[in-house]
Amino acid sequence: MALSRLSLRSNRFLRPSTTAAALPSSIRRHVSTDTTPITIETAVPFESHLCDAPSRSVETSSAEILSFFRDMARMRRMEIAADSLYKSKLIRGFCHLYDGQEALAVGMEAAITRKDAIITSYRDHCTFLGRGGELVDAFSELMGRKRGCSNGKGGSMHFYKKDACFYGGHGIVGAQIPLGCGLAFAQKYSKEEFVTFTLYGDGAANQGQLFEALNIAALWDLPAILVCENNHYGMGTATWRSAKSPAYFKRGDYVPGLKVDGMDALAVKQACKFAKEHALKNGPIVLEMDTYRYHGHSMSDPGSTYRTRDEVSGVRQVRDPIERVRKLLLSHDIATEKELKDMEKEVRKEVDDAVAQAKESPVPEPSELFTNMYVKDCGVESFGADRKELKVTLT
């Protein structure tokens, strides 16, 4: 009886969720799957530029906060697994990890739909997951296997998911910004009331193309939300050494902006919700997410030559997004410590299974080297090691 009532409740989840499995009965509890609204105050107020800041009271529910925890734990675990896969040389090339910044990915998803578009930089693993990407597709892509989300041809920096309007994963810094404004332009034409979130970093904030895109977006009232993921270091350069004005939310000048505590998933949700409404009515807005990455810029960067270990561990202790949500869950009695630990164990197993599955996927066929460059055959011949035998016509 109680069990059937609970399963009815869980069917009322309207938000698309990345949790594939239903909560097992061992941690199913009345309060933890509750969707009745509760209000939480953000710890840090919003700072605004040319607009009125949204309220600090965020409407959420126990179910939502629990899903934040689970999703962030999954993202964290994925990044740590990617770290060890890279060190064991199963992932090659470049690998930029997002751990520490998970709140941004989950908070944003909570505020928007899968028809709103997201486009981001090369630090895209968790954004992909947030858009509904499967762990096994992510790991396969990282290892360059056929099962990967880009068929193994993109790698870590080029995750895409068309059915969730995730326009990827870009290697060149800042190149995705004008692209994102272009997406917003198309959305405005379609009149379907969807917006585009264009993410870029504090390093990219100094690229000329950002300002070109801002001008056009403002001129044509595009529903574009430019999100600066300020993790305070552009690779190894601190913001105070690269930016005359590190107030990235004000850099839009004539475009309104909002500064958000990017380590607080609820604050991120509130800001994104506000931004979406704003963009549909008034055109572009800049969101600066104050966040932090624990790993270095990429796997080749230890992350300790330009910042102290104390700084990193300090942020981990005081501002960690997952710990913050854990405290919230415990203090509001939504879940017990043990339940959360069990959830983390499940997530760990999920990730390990996905890695094992991904390892079994084969690499793409060699002929894939030549596919997807042009649509029609351009008739160019290319030779293999033995000129006489391997001739491939480029498709």
Partner 1 sequence: MASLLGRFCRKLVVPGSAHGARMVSTTSSCGSETVKSLNLYSAINQALHIALETDPRSYVFGEDVGFGGVFRCTTGLAERFGKNRVFNTPLCEQGIVGFGIGLAAMGNRAVVEIQFADYIYPAFDQIVNEAAKFRYRSGNQFNCGGLTIRAPYGAVGHGGHYHSQSPEAFFCHVPGIKVVIPRSPREAKGLLLSSIRDPNPVVFFEPKWLYRQAVEEVPEHDYMIPLSEAEVIREGNDITLVGWGAQLTVMEQACLDAEKEGISCELIDLKTLLPWDKETVEASVKKTGRLLISHEAPVTGGFGAEISATILERCFLKLEAPVSRVCGLDTPFPLVFEPFYMPTKNKILDAIKSTVNY
* Binding stretches for partner 1 (CB under 8 A): 92-94, 144, 152-155, 157-158, 171-174, 203-204, 206-209, 234-237, 241-243, 305-306, 363-364, 366, 368-370, 373, 380, 382-387, 394
Nearest approach, Cβ of 96 to partner 1 (angstroms)? 12
Query: Residues near 1 by Cβ (< 8 Å), separated by ≥ 6?
Result: none
Distances (CA, A) of 286 to 105, 175, 214, 236, 247: 17, 17, 9, 24, 11
Specify the length of the chain in residues: 395
Among residues 55 and 206, whose Cβ is nearest to partner 1?
206
Say how far apart CA 71 and CA 364 lie, in whole Å: 30
Nearer to partner 1 by Cβ, of 24 and 384: the residue is 384
Residue number with CB closer to partner 1 (27 or 392): 392
Minimum CB distance to partner 1, residue 144 (Å): 4
Instruction: Render the burial of 134-143: b for 16+ CB within 10 Å, e for the rest.
Output: bbbbbbbbbb
User: Minimum CB separation from partner 1 for residue 387, in Å?
Assistant: 6
Q: How far is the CB of 206 from partner 1 (least distance, A)?
A: 4
**155 versus 256: smaller Cβ distance to partner 1:** 155
DSSP 8-state symbol, 379: -
The residues with which 288 forms a beta bridge, in sequence order, are 228, 259
Alpha carbon distances (Å) from 215 to 179, 209, 211: 14, 10, 6
> Residue 231 CB, nearest distance to partner 1 (Å)?
14
Q: How far is the CB of 97 from partner 1 (least distance, A)?
A: 17
Of 56 and 153, CB closest to partner 1: 153
The least distance separating partner 1 from the CB of residue 244, rounded to whole angstroms, comes to: 9
CA of residue 28 relative to chain centroid, distance: 28
Distance between CA atoms of 236 and 187, rounded to whole angstroms?
36
Distance CA 157, CA 173 (A): 11
Of 167 and 194, CB closest to partner 1: 167
> In the complex with partner 1, which residue's Cβ is closer, 144 or 321?
144
Task: Identify whether the C-beta of residue 195 lies closer than 8 Å to the C-beta of residue 119.
Answer: no
